[in-house]
Amino acid sequence: MNQTSTLNKLFRSNETTTIGKKRQMLWQHIVSLLYHLGPLSNPELSQLLNISIPTINRSLLYLIDLKIVNDLGLGNSIGGRRPNLFGINPESGFVLAIDISLFSVRIALMDLQNELVGRVLHFDTPLENTPEYVEFVIDKALKFTQEACGGTERLIGAGIALPGLLNPQSGCSFTHLTYSQQPIRDVFQEKLGIPVFIDNDARMMTMGEFRFGKAKGKNNILCLNIGAGLGLGMIFDGKIYQGANGFAGEFGHIKIMDDGVQCICGKNGCLETLTSGPALERRIHEELARGAVSSLQSNMNISYEDVIAAALADDPLSIHLIAECGNWLGRGLATLVHLHNPEMIILGGVISQTGHLLLDSINQSLNQCAISKIRKEAQIVISGLGDKAALLGAQSIVINHVFPFQLVRK
């Protein structure tokens, strides 16, 4: 039996007898504890689980035989005999993380110590609503997995981040990859042959920040994905908020101008039309047409990445447009701050790379629009995870299902 089927079987209740189910649940408890808490001794596991030391010892020997747990030898003494420690085998399973955006795909593999295995694969390709596109992404993922860990045998699951509206419970996407009658999650699952979990990119970024980034240890956070669109992920009381159908967080589509330009959603005056990458592209061409001076020229095919680069290179017009974007974001965030009273707001996505140029204008606008007491409670920071945030969130969503910490009786 290969290690993947062993680890997956361990966390699927396929035992039929009461004794078998209890034994399997104990194994699950032990592995979850070792994953979340790190190396532990037999007495520590016994105390945490309220199970006898001989029973814990038999379970550890079984898990060591399956190569899921490692005997790490003697640890440091804290008074008395040095304890023998046991830890999860980081190579007993791997998580595949896929971040699909409108114009590129990023793929990563992580072990059970949350470490990247090899490089992050990044390739540019426009998101297309075709089975051929999905086959292309899957082929890339399988070849990458073969290169990184020798194949799919030890994959315990895949997390996939997608832009747009989708329901993570049903696995259905309603904006992209809608070509199939099947939920797109199930399409990936059949092709990859492993459990697949899917959510939108903003929520995946938020999970990455919550687990590994600046929001670690926080319970009420907002995370903005400011790039080709404007997405929002929310964590309330330590839990990701999805809404009734998974559609929560469409911050970019709140109406902020009565006579604004048309948004991709079909409505007019959405916040996204003033704060996203396409908004920067539209505004730079408008200003250049009026005769504004810039290092960017009106006859150029200017992308929002060009505007960001020019702003970071001290181009006055580009700096002004980033500040304009921040001003509108601050106005929108004032509503969220009043509604949700977050501890922290994290700015992610490519436009957040402008750092203080964006952050300063957001703070100024938010200070003007929000009640000062509530505003002071919300720290605003730039993501420290950058373009890895969604990948780390995709890993987290798999881990949450495979090693649910609620199994542990502390």
pLDDT in tens, 176-191: 999 999 999 999 999 9
Residue 237 lies in a domain: yes
CATH number at residue 377: 3.30.420.40
Residues 244 and 330 in one domain: yes
Sign of CA dihedral 315, 316, 321, 323: positive
pLDDT at 79: 66
- The pLDDT assigned to 228 comes to 94
pLDDT confidence bin for 75, thresholds 50/70/90: confident
Same domain as 225, residue 84: no
pLDDT band at 12 (very low <50, low <70, confident <90, very high): low
Distance CA 52, CA 107 (A): 43
Residues 238 and 375 in one domain: yes
Residue that terminates a domain, selected from 75, 91, 107: 91
Which amino acid is residue 367, in one-letter code? N
pLDDT confidence tier of residue 13, bands split at 50, 70 and 90: low
**Residue ending a domain, choose from 55, 75, 91:** 91
CATH number where 76 lies: 1.10.10.10
Compute and round to an integer the Cα radius of gyration of the chain: 24
Structural domain includes residue 15: yes
Same domain, 221 and 292: yes
Q: Tell me, yes or no, whether 293 and 344 share the same domain.
A: yes
Quick one: average pLDDT of 103-112? 96
Task: Based on the fold, state whether residues 196 and 230 are members of the same structural domain.
Answer: no
Claim to verify: residue 172 and residue 50 sit in the same structural domain:
no
Looking at the domain assignment, is residue 406 inside a domain? no
Q: Quick one: pLDDT band at residue 402, thresholds 50, 70, 90?
A: confident
30 has a pLDDT exceeding 80: yes
Q: 346 and 270 in one domain?
A: yes
Task: Select the more confidently predicted residue: 293 or 407.
Answer: 293
Residues 107 and 168 in one domain: yes
pLDDT exceeds 90 at position 6: no
Which of the residue ranges 28-32, 59-63, 75-79, 225-229 would you say has the lowest mean pLDDT?
Answer: 75-79
Domain boundary among 50, 75, 91: 91
Is a pLDDT exceeding 60 seen at residue 137?
Answer: yes
In 3D, which of 75, 118, 68 has the Cα closest to residue 93? 68
Give one DSSP letter per residue of 131-176, joined into a string.
HHHHHHHHHHHHHHHHHHHSSSTTEEEEEEEESS-EETTTTEESSS
Please indicate, yes or no, if residue 106 is contained in any of the structural domains. Answer: yes
Residue 211 belongs to some domain of the structure: no
Mean pLDDT of 23-31: 89
Per-residue pLDDT tens digits for 203-227: 999 999 999 999 999 999 999 999 9
pTM of the model: 0.91
Edge-first strand listing for the sheet containing 104-110 = 121-124, 104-110, 94-100, 155-162, 196-200
Q: Do residue 156 and residue 120 come from a single domain?
A: yes
Mean pLDDT of 108-136: 95
Burial of 230 (0-12, 13-18, 19+ CB in 10 A): buried
Number of separate domains in the chain: 3
Residue 276's pLDDT band (boundaries 50, 70, 90)? very high
In a domain, 409, yes or no: no
- Per-residue pLDDT, 405: 66
380 & 395 share domain: no
Where on the phi/psi map is residue 50: left (φ > 0), alpha (ψ -120 to 50), or beta? left
What pLDDT band is residue 19 in, cutting at 50, 70 and 90? Answer: confident
Asked if the model's pLDDT at residue 404 lies above 80, the reply is no
Task: Answer yes or no: do 275 and 338 share one domain.
Answer: yes
Considering the domain boundaries, does residue 157 fall inside one? yes
Q: Average pLDDT of 244-258?
A: 94
Let me know if residue 26 belongs to a domain.
yes
CA 46/CA 58 separation, integer angstroms: 12
Domain containing 172 equals 94-206+391-401
